[in-house]
Structure 1
Amino acid sequence: MSAALDIIDTKSTRARMLARLRGNANHTSHETPPPSTETLDASIDAHYAAYRPFANDSASELIERFQQMLEAAHAQVIRANASTWAADLAQRLAAAGVRRLLMDRACAEGNALAQALPPGIRACDFAQPIEHWKAELFDTVDAGFTVARSGLAATGTLVVVPDAGSPRTVSLVPPLHVALVHARTLHADLHAAVAAERWRDAMPTNLVMISGPSKTSDIQQTTAYGAHGPRALWVVVIEEEHAQ
């Protein structure tokens, strides 16, 4: 048996590859130039407009669809109005046994909820690096409260933009995540949200999209909740009072 090995001529192989690339470049340089960004945008918009079955849904219909999709993913939806939501949510949290609530009291919604909390629930700010209170955070905080930027009715998805006062940890670590979304910020789907909010002008550097509590499945397709995040998700939808 011969021990000789076939030696690959790397120089020749490289030369052939470069020749092909140059040939393709010369060939495409004479073709029609690619469409402009505006043309592509118009084409994409037309595609979604043609295949979106609920493009003309009313505000109430968007809320209904949003709720149905969230509940199908085992989230709890609480529909409320701007004047009573904080008191109602505070009562629900107390009834659920929440004693420590992680939240950003600097935002208007966080401040309103903090003032409505009963004495038995302590509002906690994320005011220090996680390394300084990791054990306390993981062991004693019962729920986290965030305010979503918007919602997607087609999939029941919350669009959350974390910041210094309400980082991703608030929606990820506590066993219960409570998210508030204003009904006026609901969109039909992701494409509609991107267009309406003009993401192309100021794309957020850190977006979190949430479509239910954390869940995973093993090889037998047995679903378990809370393996990689909160076991429960409450979504408070604030409807405009004149639309009630």
Structure 2
Amino acid sequence: MSARDAILKRLRERADGPLTPPECDFAVVTNRGWSPEERLERFERWITSVHGEVIHVATHDWTTALVDVLTAKGVQRLALGREHPVAAEARRALVDAEVELVDVDRDIEAWKREQFERVDAGLTSTLGGIAETGSLWLWPTPDEPRLISLVPPIHIAVLDADTLEDTFFDVVERHGWAGGMPTNALLISGPSKTADIEQTLAYGVHGPRELVVLVRHAGTAAGGEA
């Protein structure tokens, strides 16, 4: 009998009966009790601390802010989907703008070089945000593949303020990940960053150098006019 088998045999033949797993107490990772205003303040504080940019907009007029961002950052080619309401609204708002809209629902091998070399920004929706860490969470789809948030120099993400959760645990619980975990979930907490051997922090080396979050509020934008 091998040592491994001997250990397993002793465990199976415990004199005091089989081991029972302890009850799980997840209180440490949930139950923050933050108000919607506190969630938003924490989310913005953390994501801007790592060079994320947050712009508050009214839901009914968010595309005006999108146009302003594209103009201010000199975006000439924007990659986006077609079917999601965020992409559909953006396309309508940009129909007369001097911005080329790049379709992303294509085989990556057919436009890989174009995506890496000629796209200035990618626009995506989000499914929510996490206040505790200042993170966005996305489930990529064929209409919004993961590369449009990971490759272009600028990632513009649209977040509805009422989809913010306190913690990552709350996201997993509320959206039933245990029964239907996504095949590819993205957690984004700022633009791409890395540090070399001298510990010099650099942004945009392995992905977007800028992250712009358009936080949509029903009615009026926080701190702004309708």
Normalised TM-score (structure 2): 0.91
Residue 133 (structure 1) aligned with residue 133 (structure 2): no
Check the 8 A contact 1:177/1:233 in 2, yes or no.
yes
Displacement over 2 Å in runs of 4+: 14-17, 31-35, 46-49
2:47 alignment counterpart: 70
Residue 15 (structure 1) aligned with residue 35 (structure 2): no
Check the 8 A contact 1:183/1:237 in 2, yes or no.
yes
Structure-2 separation of matches of 1:114 and 1:31: 61
Q: Deviations over 1:168-218 (max 9, x none)?
A: 110011000001111111001111111222221211111010000000001
Q: Tell me which moved more, 20-29 or 228-237.
A: 20-29
1:153 alignment counterpart: 131
2:29 alignment counterpart: 48
Residue 181 (structure 1) aligned with residue 153 (structure 2): no
Q: How many residues align?
A: 221
Residue 115 (structure 1) aligned with residue 92 (structure 2): yes
- CA positional deviation for 1:243: 8.1
What's the secondary structure of 2:4's corresponding residue? Answer: helix
Q: Determine which of 175, 200, 212 is the counterpart of 2:190.
A: 212
Q: Determine which of 69, 82, 88 is the counterpart of 2:59.
A: 82
- CA positional deviation for 1:229: 0.4
Unmatched tracts of structure 1, length 5 or more: 1-13
- CA positional deviation for 1:29: 7.7
Name the aligned partner's letter for residue 29 of structure 2: Y
- Aligned-residue sequence identity (percent) comes to 37
What's the secondary structure of 1:133's corresponding residue? Answer: helix
Q: 1:187 to 1:28 in 2, by over 3 A?
A: farther
Residue 24 (structure 1) aligned with residue 1 (structure 2): no
Structure-2 separation of matches of 1:174 and 1:28: 61
Structure-2 separation of matches of 1:199 and 1:16: 39
Greater relative contact order (Cα < 8 A, sep 6+): 2
Q: 1:21 to 1:77 in 2, by over 3 A?
A: same
Q: Determine which of 127, 141, 149 is the counterpart of 1:163.
A: 141
Name the aligned partner's letter for residue 125 of structure 1: D
Check the 8 A contact 1:98/1:121 in 2, yes or no.
yes
Q: Tell me which moved more, 102-111 or 208-217.
A: 102-111
Q: Tell me which moved more, 79-88 or 18-27.
A: 18-27
Q: Deviations over 1:24-76 (max 9, x none)?
A: 221178135335xxx53xx21x3335xx6xx2222122111111111001010
- CA positional deviation for 1:237: 0.7
Check the 8 A contact 1:94/1:120 in 2, yes or no.
no
Structure-2 separation of matches of 1:243 and 1:89: 14
How large is the RMSD of aligned CA atoms in angstroms? 1.9
